[in-house]
């Protein structure tokens, strides 16, 4: 017999059960496309190739990914989209591309609740996201907006779906604890004249002027508070970030 899927007891037509593998063992990258362009597109290609080599012992050519992205733009008949490219493997490497409308950045600063947690294989953007969603829900249940992680030694690492950086004056500091090197973070760092990467202890949070979350949707989302530590709007570091992003142009698909 052939495999099939039931949803609430009803057979689903035209869905290949093989696609479930894309959510169980694989990796992905998420892009916000504006006018057919993506920030850090070359970094997305590099991430997908590097992760495919590590997980499946095969390369993933940038040209193949670009072809699928262009197909997504053609199918949507739009240059403004949200795209997620999942990579999984059977006998061959497959790309499962999910396409949706563009997502606007978050409009208000967020309040974060810290949890001790080390994400498995943190350098990979893998599909094992149960823990990220679990802790994000725990934070919201306690009256916060999202979760921020720290190591067993009390050093900040990353948030549920964001990298984080901290500011003293115009100088930005990125945590040196193991994290996923986000594409937005790498783009921001490429535009900065200088920055530091060092341990960020929980005990030192109040010594910073500001904190910002970065991901494909939110390039510089101000943090309102972390636990009991609060931050006010900080023009000096916000200007540094805006200048850095302006120095690195987006790339056409």
Among residues 62, 81, 100, the one where a domain terminates is 100
Task: Name the 3-class secondary structure at 66.
Answer: helix
Q: What is the pLDDT of residues 202-211, one digit of tens each?
A: 999 999 999 9
CA 21 to chain centre: 21
What's the token pair of residue 242?
Answer: 């805006």
234 falls within a domain: yes
Confidence of residue 23 (pLDDT cuts 50, 70, 90): confident
pLDDT above 70: residue 83: yes
Q: Report how far residue 12's alpha carbon sits from residue 4's, in angstroms, rounded to the nearest whole number.
A: 7
Distance of CA 243 to the CA centre of its chain: 21
Element (H, E) at 239: helix 235-246
Give pLDDT, residue 104. Answer: 96
Same domain assignment for residues 172 and 63: no
For the residues 158-179, what does the mean pLDDT come to? 98
E strand intervals along 58-120: 81-89, 93-100, 110-116
CATH number assigned to the domain comprising residue 235: 3.20.10.10
Q: What is the H or E stretch that residue 150 is in?
A: strand 146-150
Q: DSSP assignment, residue 202?
A: G
Burial label, 57 (beta-carbon count in 10 A; 0-12, 13-18, 19+): exposed
pLDDT in tens, 122-162: 999 999 999 999 999 999 999 999 999 999 999 999 999 99
Q: Is the pLDDT of residue 10 over 90?
A: no
Rounded to whole angstroms, the Cα distance separating 32 from 27 reads 17
Q: How would you label 114-133 residue by residue, b for 16+ Cβ within 10 Å and e otherwise? A: bbebebeebebbbbeeebbe
Read off the pTM.
Answer: 0.94
Q: Distance between terminal CA atoms of the chain?
A: 42
Among 61, 77, 100, residue at a domain's last position: 100
Supply 55's token pair. Answer: 């997980």
Q: Which residues, 6+ apart, have CB-to-CB distance to 163 below 8 Å?
A: 174, 179, 180, 181, 182, 184, 185, 213, 214, 215
118 lies in the same domain as 239: yes
- In this structure, the answer to whether residues 83 and 46 fall within a common structural domain is yes
pLDDT at 2: 72
**Which of 100, 128, 158 is the last residue before a domain boundary?**
100
CATH number for the domain harbouring residue 93? 3.30.470.10
Q: What pLDDT is recorded for position 20?
A: 74
Task: Give pLDDT, residue 91.
Answer: 87
- 94 and 126 in a single domain? The answer is no
* For the chain, percent of residues with pLDDT exceeding 90: 89
Query: 143 with 189, same domain?
Result: yes
What rounded mean pLDDT belongs to the chain? 95
Distance CA 36, CA 47 (A): 20
Domain count, the chain: 2
Whether the CA torsion 83, 88, 91, 92 is positive or negative: it is positive
What is residue 1's predicted lDDT score, i.e. its pLDDT?
A: 63
Residue 251's DSSP bridge partners are 38
Do the domain assignments include residue 29?
yes
96 and 204 part of one domain: no
What is the span of the domain harbouring residue 77? 14-100
Tell whether 154 and 79 lie within a shared domain: no
């Amino acid at each position: 017999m052939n495999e099939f899927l039931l949803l609430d007891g009803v057979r689903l037509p035209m869905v290949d059960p093989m696609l479930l593998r894309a959510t169980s063992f694989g990796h992905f990258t998420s892009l916000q496309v504006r006018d057919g362009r993506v920030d850090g597109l070359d970094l997305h290609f590099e991430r997908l190739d590097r992760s495919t080599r590590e997980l499946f012992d095969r390369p993933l050519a940038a040209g193949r990914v670009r072809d699928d992205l262009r197909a997504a733009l053609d199918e949507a008949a739009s240059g403004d989209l949200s795209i997620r490219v999942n990579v999984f493997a059977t006998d061959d490497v497959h790309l499962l591309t999910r396409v949706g409308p563009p997502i606007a950045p978050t409009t208000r600063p967020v309040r974060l609740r810290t949890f001790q947690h080390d994400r498995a294989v943190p350098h990979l953007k893998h599909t094992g996201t149960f823990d990220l969603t679990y802790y994000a829900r725990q934070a919201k249940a306690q009256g916060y907006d999202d979760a921020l992680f720290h190591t067993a030694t009390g050093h900040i690492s990353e948030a549920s779906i964001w990298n984080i950086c901290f500011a003293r004056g115009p100088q930005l500091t990125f945590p040196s604890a193991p994290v996923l090197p986000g594409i937005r973070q790498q783009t921001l760092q490429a535009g900065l004249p200088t920055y530091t990467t060092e341990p960020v202890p929980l005990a030192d949070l109040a010594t910073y002027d500001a904190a910002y979350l970065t991901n494909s949707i939110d390039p510089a989302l101000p943090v309102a508070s972390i636990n009991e530590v609060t931050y006010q709007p900080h023009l000096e570091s916000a200007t540094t970030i805006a200048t850095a992003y302006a120095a690195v142009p987006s790339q056409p698909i």
